[in-house]
Amino acid sequence: MNDRVPKQEVVAARDVKVAFGAVKALDGATLVIQSGECVGLVGHNGAGKSTIVNVINGGLTPQEGAITYGGASADQGITAARASGVRCVFQELSLCPNLTIAENARVMLSDLKGAGWRRRGLALVTRQLAEIFPGHSIDCESVVEDLTIAERQMVEIAISFAAVDARPKLVILDEPTSSLDAGLAAQLMAYVRRFVETGGSVLLISHILGEILSTSDRIVVMKDGKVVADRPAVDFNTRRLVETMGSVVREQGWQRSARTKTGAPVLSVPPLPGASIRLEAFSGEIIGLAGLGGHGQTEALLDLYLAANGNWWPAAEPKMAFVAGDRGLNGTFSLWSILKNLSISSLKGLSNRSVIDTDREKKVSESWRKRIEIRTPDMHNPILSLSGGNQQKVLFARALATTAKIVLMDDPMRGVDVGTKQEVYEILRAEAASGRTFIWYSTEMDEIRLCDRVYVFRDGAIAAELVGDDITEAGVLAASFAGGEAA
Ligand SMILES: Nc1ncnc2c1ncn2[C@@H]1O[C@H](COP(=O)(O)OP(=O)(O)OP(=O)(O)O)[C@@H](O)[C@H]1O
């Protein structure tokens, strides 16, 4: 921010405690945000990040501690937070699916009212989307349910930054790039910098440490409900950040499988009309689906699943398992326990004469709880009592606990912390070595690089196939754009 503009306290949460039953979600945490700064907030899954966001956003009243807005106002609650210029883009997106984009803007922006609000709302979002994501292809007159998850994320971000009467003072972005490809994420981070340079504040929560390090002025690290570090971003690098979070930094021990395309394919899909590359998968391969977001990767996975399993009912011996990326829409059973969410795809293996062996079910879910570190005191707790990243781990465990030889993954690491990601990568490699095949759509280049073979999608079809050392960012980017050539 311009150094001549004096900084002001926008919001402060001091010594805040929040407990959910026996779980201490916040245990005396303090977070102060000044005008003109981007504060990066990081921590393991379940560290308390979303909870402190809910406290400063006014949605949750802490059992202990003080919240102040603008250095003085002690009014509490969502209305006070909004009146103080605080806006929040939630991790679980909160747009109303049956409303248009303009109608959602009307719901989120209370000062968008009076005659002509619909027209003004449409113009506002159109302008804001173009400013943050220049060149986007969203039809601003859409109903939200017709948008992809990435487009919904972009719209919610645009509405949150939009100014009707006054522009927001603080925008909280809780994992804002989890569904965005690298290009859109870079556009958003550049916009965040422009916003704070002109006096606005952003609280940025992300498990993608690169964007935290490159975009934040200051980084706050949380662990087990406490703030364990609060220092200028220049004091950190990736290793220091990971260690402060309490995770172990692992050296890159990842080895691509040397065995690609051996034996008969376990899966073979002819190319679409006009395209020339067949999607094939062989036993023990980890195959990446790459390319710009929304170019048909998720649809390809859904088609593969439905072609193999016929429908979405759990099959006795599933040929394929599916790890959903949009967990709210097609991942979690929100009224069920963690245990039931985990075991639903393996019921056949857990049953004796069609009756579920609850002891075995418990044992299997306990072993996954430990293996993938699902942070809960009790697997019988509701799935929604878990933090977002921990819910995603349950979806992983659900698929891996099946006997399916092929596992389809739709950008499945959304919101998973860096320590757990490394563990999951190792599990994937071990499972692939024992003959399982993974088909993995990822919006993160670091993950695409881990794959044995990669299909790059463009306009709904496969535009290129990259193998082994040819899997580079340049190769993926070249193939992602019309006229480009894979490296
Ligand atoms: N409504 C709730 N009921 C019970 N426990 C909850 C509830 N909300 C959060 N928790 C617990 O509080 C702790 C902190 O959760 P929180 O969502 O703040 O973590 P987080 O740091 O945002 O994690 P993630 O990176 O996975 O999003 C977790 O142990 C979570 O299970």
Q: What percent of the chain has pLDDT over 90?
A: 42
Tell me, using a 6 A CB cutoff, whether residue 58 lines ligand 1: no
Determine, yes or no, domain membership for 58.
yes
Nearest atom of ligand 1 to the alpha carbon of 390: 26
Q: What is the pLDDT of residue 377?
A: 87
Residues paired with residue 16 on neighbouring β-strands, in sequence order: 29
Determine, yes or no, domain membership for 32.
yes
Helices (H), 297-357: 297-309, 327-330, 338-343
Q: What is the pLDDT of residue 277?
A: 87
pLDDT (tens place) for every residue of the chain, 487 residues total: 555 566 789 999 999 999 988 789 999 999 999 999 999 999 988 899 999 999 999 889 999 998 999 877 666 778 888 888 999 998 777 889 899 999 999 988 888 888 888 899 899 999 999 999 998 988 888 898 999 888 999 999 999 999 888 889 999 999 898 888 888 999 999 999 999 999 999 999 998 889 999 999 999 999 999 999 999 999 999 889 888 988 665 655 566 766 667 778 888 888 777 777 889 999 999 999 998 877 889 999 999 988 887 666 656 667 888 888 777 777 888 899 999 999 888 777 777 777 877 888 899 889 988 888 888 889 999 999 988 888 888 998 999 988 899 999 998 887 788 888 888 888 898 899 989 999 999 988 888 989 999 999 988 889 999 998 889 888 888 888 765 444 3
Q: What is the pLDDT of residue 254?
A: 61
CA dist 302 and 290 (Å) reads 16
120 shares its domain with 199: yes
Determine, yes or no, domain membership for 140.
yes
224 shares its domain with 276: no
**What's the burial of 212, exposed, middle or buried (CB within 10 Å: 0-12/13-18/19+)?**
buried
The alpha carbon of 335 and the centre of ligand 1 are apart by a number of angstroms equal to 17
Give Cα separations from 222 to 23, 27, 371 (angstroms): 15, 10, 23
pLDDT of 236-277, one tens digit each? 998 898 889 886 656 555 667 666 677 788 888 887 777 778
154 shares its domain with 235: yes
CA dist 25 and 380 (Å) reads 18
What range defines the domain where residue 301 resides? 267-480
CA dist 321 and 308 (Å) reads 10
Q: What is the pLDDT of residue 484?
A: 45
313 shares its domain with 191: no
Q: Which residues contact 56 (CB under 8 A, 6 or more apart)?
A: 11, 13, 31, 33, 67, 81, 86, 172, 203
Domain boundary among 245, 280, 299: 245
Determine, yes or no, domain membership for 261.
no
Pocket test for ligand 1, best of 45, 51, 414 (most atoms within 8 A of CB): 51
Name the DSSP class of 351: E
180 shares its domain with 301: no
Q: What is the pLDDT of residue 483?
A: 52
Tokens 């659900």 sit at which residue? Answer: 398
Residues paired with residue 41 on neighbouring β-strands, in sequence order: 205, 220
337 shares its domain with 438: yes
The alpha carbon of 271 and the centre of ligand 1 are apart by a number of angstroms equal to 43
Determine, yes or no, domain membership for 254.
no
> What CATH number should be reported for the domain holding residue 368?
3.40.50.300
Tell me, using a 6 A CB cutoff, whether residue 392 lines ligand 1: no
38 shares its domain with 116: yes
111 shares its domain with 195: yes
146 shares its domain with 34: yes
297 shares its domain with 194: no
Tell me, using a 6 A CB cutoff, whether residue 415 lines ligand 1: yes
**DSSP states along 253-312:** -----S--S-SS-SEEEPPPTT--PPEEE-TT-EEEEESSTTSSHHHHHHHHHHHHHSSS
Tell me, using a 6 A CB cutoff, whether residue 386 lines ligand 1: yes
Tell me, using a 6 A CB cutoff, whether residue 45 lines ligand 1: yes
Give Cα separations from 270 to 17, 276, 286, 320 (angstroms): 57, 8, 19, 19
The alpha carbon of 49 and the centre of ligand 1 are apart by a number of angstroms equal to 8
Determine, yes or no, domain membership for 46.
yes
314 shares its domain with 349: yes
Q: What is the pLDDT of residue 77?
A: 78
pLDDT of 147-186, one tens digit each? 988 899 999 999 999 988 888 999 999 989 888 888 899 9
CA dist 103 and 81 (Å) reads 22
The alpha carbon of 124 and the centre of ligand 1 are apart by a number of angstroms equal to 34
Q: Which residues contact 182 (CB under 8 A, 6 or more apart)?
A: 443, 444, 445
Terminal Cα-to-Cα distance of the chain (whole angstroms): 40
Determine, yes or no, domain membership for 485.
no
Tell me, using a 6 A CB cutoff, whether residue 385 lines ligand 1: yes
Pocket test for ligand 1, best of 20, 27, 369, 374 (most atoms within 8 A of CB): 20
**Overall number of domains in the chain:** 2
**What's the burial of 47, exposed, middle or buried (CB within 10 Å: 0-12/13-18/19+)?**
buried
Q: What is the pLDDT of residue 347?
A: 75
**Beta strands across the sheet bearing 201-205:** 86-89, 170-174, 201-205, 38-43, 218-223, 226-232
The tokens describing 315, both together, are 């099959």
Core vs surface per residue 119-133: b (16+ CB within 10 A) or e: ebbbebbbebbeebb
Q: Identity (one letter) of the amino acid at 187?
A: Q
Q: What is the pLDDT of residue 485?
A: 43
The alpha carbon of 373 and the centre of ligand 1 are apart by a number of angstroms equal to 14
Domain boundary among 188, 211, 245: 245
The alpha carbon of 270 and the centre of ligand 1 are apart by a number of angstroms equal to 44
439 shares its domain with 408: yes
Q: Whose CA is nearest to atom 27 of ligand 1?
A: 388
Determine, yes or no, domain membership for 310.
yes
